[in-house]
Structure 1
Amino acid sequence: MALHAFIFPGQGSQAVGMGRDLAASFAPARHVFEEVDEVLKQKLSKLMFEGPSDELTLTENAQPALMAVSLAVLRVLQLEGGISLERKAKLVAGHSLGEYAALAAAESFSVAETARLLKLRGQAMQKAVAPGIGAMAALLGVEFEAAREICRQAEANGEIVSAANDNGGGQVVISGHKTAVERAIDIAKAQGVKRAMLLPVSAPFHCALMAPAADAMAEAFANIPPRTPVVPVVANVTAAPTTDPNTIRDLLVQQVTATVRWRESVLAMTAAGIDSFIEIGAGKVLAGLVKRISPDATTHSIGSPADIEAILKVL
């Protein structure tokens, strides 16, 4: 029998129209979107369904929006499909903001709490660095240690650049001061890295420049502490499962400035016997990464009514 991990996508998976068919087809999905709209006092669902794209892509909108789609899918699986996360998933994990969706799925936070936390996280990350100061770039065809060495070589004049996401399959995202990131791109190309390109993001996530946002999250968790999840969560910072609320809180604070260790997380889940990864929410980014890290694993991406119908036959 397959052992499943439920995984939750991060920023970059958003697209105008996400969640629209779910809301049209299923009352539990509609209720999640209505609850998030209500909590945030904004018509986030309208922005998700209709755009404009540039507004949806804003960090403070994209983060709660992606979580809302993931939780809407999960609610439909639970309430219409009779799926119990506790019984069906051995582990949960998420990529960056997806870790919050994973924790909400595992009942560590309510949907309302998660929406508030992610709105704040998005705003704090946006405010942490003035526009134009920071940047992120993707290096393709490079292993993690080599990418870290490139970053070390590119740091100068007090400017920082570091590995932000170890996505696996030779894909590493780097983050830091724009000029240092540009130097790292030049070094990477000179060293024969297949592709190195700036990413269209509004802030340099998962690097030391995000320290003010980490402080903001530490403050937020004083008011909204996590509860013990019903399924262990594989944390981005440690690539290891945890169920301890204090550890979860500390790791979420660290996560703002730390590397997202996705490759190691997938390998850890595979080592724990997981052979089926079910991506819950918008897009198919994580399923693609899993396939590159653990080629033998089965993957499913569940974001539409048709996807839900198909996965209910599998689970």
Structure 2
Amino acid sequence: MSIKTAFVYPGQGSQLVGMGADLMHDRPQLTEVFEHVEAVTGRPVIEPMVHGPEDRLRETRTAQLVLFAFGTAMTRALAAEGVVPQLVAGHSLGEFTALVAGGWLDLDEAAATVVQRADAMARCCHERAGAMAAVMGTDPDEVARVLARHPGRRDDGRPRTVVIANYNSPRQTVISGDAATVEEIGEAIRTESIAVVQPLSVAGAFHSPLMGPAQDTLMATIARLPLRRGHTPMVSSVTGGLVTDLEHYRDALAHQITAPVHWTRTARRILDHRPHRIVEVGPGTTLRSLIRKVDRGQEIHPCGNTNELRAVTCTRG
């Protein structure tokens, strides 16, 4: 069975200063979405989103809420033009935007949870220096073999913490852990394989055991979330499968902060539904690039500004 349209939502790192400015100018009613999120959370959205500066927008506490609000507003803009998805998915933070878009979670509950998630992750980043690096040009199994060849403790006796955090595409993996070990393992990968290793500009070791305290903080919140069966099917990037059992999914969502992002599985599951097109709802084209590494012929449209919104609505078929 084929579907018409799937929406995918990017995670932290895709934010851009100025995003949303043209959207609010052309569709002032969408300003209400941003103002509502500000009212619910008590956090600024419009000011850092439109004016930055970049350092402020890059902060975990700011970036996550801004991206969530932007994706939600853009989803409403698409719906107003008659473009609605038959399947949704999100990369890491983007999963919360997908939950709202698919009707699985209320906007207010999701916004409050995103704030708590961002605060808890930011505290972890402050307490222990972490890092992430993209490994490009080799498969995840080779990366795992390199990790397995290194002992559990460094020469100074401290434990090594480094894991695969993102399975982004068949030839792109992200590793995450304490900063010294990520650098050491990155050098080993360069030496032992033909991969390119690119350090990422992030605040900490997301999707690794270093986020354990943040996960503990969120456990009770996730346990109380009023999840419901949505009106639109969703693929979870925690499991890479369709969400069917709400309580099983709740447990997966509770462990999302330390669990790897299975985006390759997610992309393949979306492609199994043979969508006529996929729309990346958010700034940038990161997910478009990753999905095309799985199927280069798939039609994928970015939708992160007014011009891209017009292009999507003009080709709605």
CA distance in 1, matches of 2:308, 2:66: 19
CA distance in 2, matches of 1:29, 1:295: 33
Asked if structure 2 preserves the Cα contact closer than 8 Å seen for 1:28 and 1:76, the reply is: no
Q: CA deviation at 1:260?
A: 0.3
Q: CA deviation at 1:131?
A: 4.9
The equivalent residue for 1:204 is: 205
CA distance in 1, matches of 2:149, 2:19: 40
The equivalent residue for 1:115 is: 111
- Cα deviation 1:26-55 (Å, max 9, x = unaligned): 134211111111122132211100001111
CA distance in 2, matches of 1:131, 1:18: 31
Residues 114, 266 of structure 1: alpha-carbon distance in 2 compared, 3 angstrom cutoff: same
CA distance in 2, matches of 1:149, 1:155: 12
Count of matched residue pairs: 310
CA distance in 2, matches of 1:162, 1:275: 35
CA distance in 2, matches of 1:11, 1:179: 23
The equivalent residue for 1:82 is: 82
The equivalent residue for 1:71 is: 72
- Cα deviation 1:42-98 (Å, max 9, x = unaligned): 32211100001111111111111111111111111123x133x3xxx2321000000
CA distance in 1, matches of 2:151, 2:252: 26
Asked if structure 2 preserves the Cα contact closer than 8 Å seen for 1:94 and 1:102, the reply is: yes
The equivalent residue for 1:184 is: 185
Asked if structure 2 preserves the Cα contact closer than 8 Å seen for 1:154 and 1:181, the reply is: no
Q: Which contiguous aligned blocks of 4+ residues in structure 1 show a shift greater than 6 angstroms? A: none
The equivalent residue for 2:95 is: 99
Amino acid in the other structure paired with 1:257: T
Residues 275, 254 of structure 1: alpha-carbon distance in 2 compared, 3 angstrom cutoff: farther
- Cα deviation 1:247-300 (Å, max 9, x = unaligned): 332111121111101011111221232342111111111111111111121000
The equivalent residue for 2:156 is: none
Amino acid in the other structure paired with 1:229: G
CA distance in 2, matches of 1:183, 1:151: 10
The equivalent residue for 2:238 is: 237
Q: Secondary structure at the match of 2:149?
A: helix
Q: How many percent of aligned residue pairs carry the same amino acid? A: 33
Q: Please, what TM-score do these two structures have when normalized by structure 2?
A: 0.92
Q: Please, what TM-score do these two structures have when normalized by structure 1?
A: 0.93
Residue 260 (1) aligns with residue 261 (2)? yes
Q: Which deviates the most, 288-297 or 95-104?
A: 288-297
Unaligned ranges ≥5, structure 2:
154-158
Asked if structure 1 preserves the Cα contact closer than 8 Å seen for 2:222 and 2:253, the reply is: no
Residues 132, 213 of structure 1: alpha-carbon distance in 2 compared, 3 angstrom cutoff: closer
Q: Which deviates the most, 4-13 or 21-30?
A: 21-30
Asked if structure 2 preserves the Cα contact closer than 8 Å seen for 1:132 and 1:178, the reply is: no
Q: Which deviates the most, 180-189 or 219-228?
A: 219-228
- Say what the alpha-carbon RMSD is for the aligned residues: 1.7
Unaligned ranges ≥5, structure 1:
none
CA distance in 1, matches of 2:70, 2:298: 24
